[in-house]
Amino acid sequence: MTSNHYPSTSYHQYLEGGGEMGKLTREFDWSTTALGHPETWSQSLLTTINIMLNSRFPMFIWWGPDLIQFYNDAYRPSLGNDGKHPKALGQRGADCWKEIWPVIKPLIDQVILTGESTWSEDQLIPIYRNKKLEDVYWTFSYSALKDETGKIAGVLVICNETTNKVQTYNAVQDAKRELEFAIEAAELGTWDLNPQTNHFIGNDRLKSWFGLSAENEIELNHAIDAIIDDDKERVTTAINKALEKGSDGNYSVIYTIINSKDNTRRIVEAIGKAKFDAEGIPYRFSGILLDVTEEYKLQQRKDEFISVASHELKTPITSLSASMQILQKLIKTNSAPDKIPLFINKASNNLNKLVHLLDDLLNVTKIQQGQLGLNKTLFNLAELVVDCAENTKLVSDHEFIINADKTIMVFADYRRIDQVLVNLINNAVKYSPQAKRIELSVCKENDTVKVSVRDFGIGINPQKLPHLFDRYYRVDTLGHQFSGLGLGLYISSEIIKRHNGKIGVDSALGDGSDFWFTIPAN
């Protein structure tokens, strides 16, 4: 080689910079390799190394018959720890990549032979790094490098490790398959509406319920047309309510559809959620559809509920009527005036009980029709808990022990949260007739606020715990039959769900119960 091709005084400037790999390249004893000292290297090799070292994109070079290696700082992390780095620098390709040489050597040969570049996307090429053989994915291109004579003397690799991307994609696909399996196992219909375009998408099961073939697109008006006339207005109102600016986006409604092909009637329950952008405009409305036509168990509970409701409503009405008759007699005869306040109080208590029962029925109807809206304001949750306890003390001889963080503020529906608290506190009083201590707590847990109502009463049978928040479910414990419609906990559960919170209970038979709920912290 002549000095015209290999300027001995200028190679230093081509190896400047480049961070860690630039330093290692300058310090490496290249005389131990087939390439020899850098002062003998060709101008094309020096120029390519300079470009590589100072690039922030991962690059790798093989040069000469032995395919001696160079790489930059951006490529270095792909070699891992306790693996090929730093000995890969200046090493022969065949010695460095023994585990994958049969895979990559044909690509190198192809580039050197033809001069044409290769392209591979998300290619699995396992390499030894971090003390083990790892599955590593790459998107890369091999390109020919020419020497001063125009002959192909090396290969430039420009690459990007895509392992995280591929693993994330695979995880998403696995989750998608699991979700599809769950949906299939649960026999659910799924739907997705773009409120801005009215483009409506449904899975094959939903299409079959509506009488459409799998390849058919669904137009929103066709989906509405399948709903029986008696339910159309109610469903449309529930949809509009969920999509209304400022709403919580929740959607829940039960209605009947008729299959357009065979006229089969099907009762379905739709549950969904609308999502809004920063301006409060809905951009997605999606959910599931359940076939509830064959729920005889629910129908049986409804029948039982009607029987219970008839009895529960009749009791205060009968008592109220009797109190009013006695009052009329006392007033007419002007006798026993000292007893008049007593019967007025009895009549008032029974009237309040009747109003409470009717409120429960009205709330359930609102929930079923998707009309249980929220009016959120900012308020002090501890103060609300104290107020509920003080009001209960007026009609109960229980002792309330309150442990509450008085600084906690929440953005929620004051009236609905009050309704939940009153229900839980009244239940604690009702189910602990002998144990007079009730503990109330309010605390912050990460991004949520937790409220707990703990009694030391009769507790709950473990077999009944999973059903406590079901509609129409009433607890009959230790031979005690307590009044009520079995709606209070169901309504409380729905209120907390609409606040994007959770509700639950911890209880042991004979050892009291701890009812709790969480809602997002302000």
Give pLDDT tens digits for 339-368: 667 767 666 665 665 666 666 666 666 666
Give the architecture-level CATH label for domain 297-368. Answer: Orthogonal Bundle (1.10)
Residues of the chain with CATH 3.30.450.20: 11-163, 186-294
- Do residues 302 and 347 lie in contact, with contact meaning Cβ atoms separated by under 8 Å? no
Number of H helices and number of E strands within the chain?
Answer: 14, 22
pLDDT at position 479 over 50: no
Q: Which residues, in sequence order, are CB contacts of 349 under 8 Å at separation 6+?
A: none
- CATH of range 376-520; options 3.10.330.10, 2.40.50.140, 3.30.565.10, 3.40.50.970: 3.30.565.10
pLDDT recorded at residue 438:
94
pLDDT in tens, 432-446: 888 889 999 999 998
pLDDT in tens, 105-116: 999 999 999 999
Give the architecture-level CATH label for domain 186-294. Answer: 2-Layer Sandwich (3.30)
Residue 456 CA from chain centroid, whole number: 35
β-bridge partners, 142: 157
pLDDT recorded at residue 516:
95
Kindly indicate the confidence band of residue 401, based on its pLDDT and cuts at 50, 70 and 90: very high
Strands 265-276 and 376-380: unpaired
Residue 81: in which H helix or E strand, if any?
Answer: none
Instruction: Look at 298 and 208; give whichever has higher pLDDT.
Output: 208
Cα–Cα distance between 69 and 24 in angstroms, integer?
13
| Six token digits for residue 216 | 């058919």
Instruction: Look at 439 and 183; give whichever has higher pLDDT.
Output: 439
Among 12-21, 227-236, 457-466, which is the least confidently predicted range? Answer: 457-466
pLDDT in tens, 411-469: 999 988 988 998 899 889 988 888 889 999 999 998 999 999 999 998 888 878 888 88
Nearest by Cα to 383 from 363, 403, 349, 406: 406
- Do residues 280 and 245 lie in contact, with contact meaning Cβ atoms separated by under 8 Å? yes
Which segment, 189-198, 367-376, 470-479, 492-501, is predicted with the most confidence on average? Answer: 492-501
- Do residues 89 and 96 lie in contact, with contact meaning Cβ atoms separated by under 8 Å? no
Strands 480-481 and 476-477: antiparallel
DSSP letter for each residue of 22-76 = HHHHHHS-GGGSTT--GGGS-HHHHHHHHHHHT-SS-EEEEETTTTEEEE-TTTG
Nearest by Cα to 75 from 165, 160, 156: 160
Cα–Cα distance between 485 and 279 in angstroms, integer?
42
Cα–Cα distance between 276 and 295 in angstroms, integer?
34
Is the four-CA dihedral 263, 269, 275, 279 of positive or negative sign?
positive
Kindly indicate the confidence band of residue 1, based on its pLDDT and cuts at 50, 70 and 90: very low
**Percent over 90 (pLDDT), the chain:** 33
β-bridge partners, 71: 60
Mean pLDDT, range 295-306, rounded to an integer? 61
Cα–Cα distance between 93 and 11 in angstroms, integer?
24
| Six token digits for residue 215 | 């390849």
Phi, psi values for residue 138, rounded to 5°: -135, 145
Residues of the chain with CATH 3.30.565.10: 376-520
Residue 277 CA from chain centroid, whole number: 18
- CATH of range 11-163; options 3.90.1150.10, 3.40.50.2020, 3.40.1410.10, 3.30.450.20: 3.30.450.20
Amino acid type, 224 = I
pLDDT recorded at residue 4:
39
Instruction: Look at 371 and 494; give whichever has higher pLDDT.
Output: 494
Kindly indicate the confidence band of residue 224, based on its pLDDT and cuts at 50, 70 and 90: confident
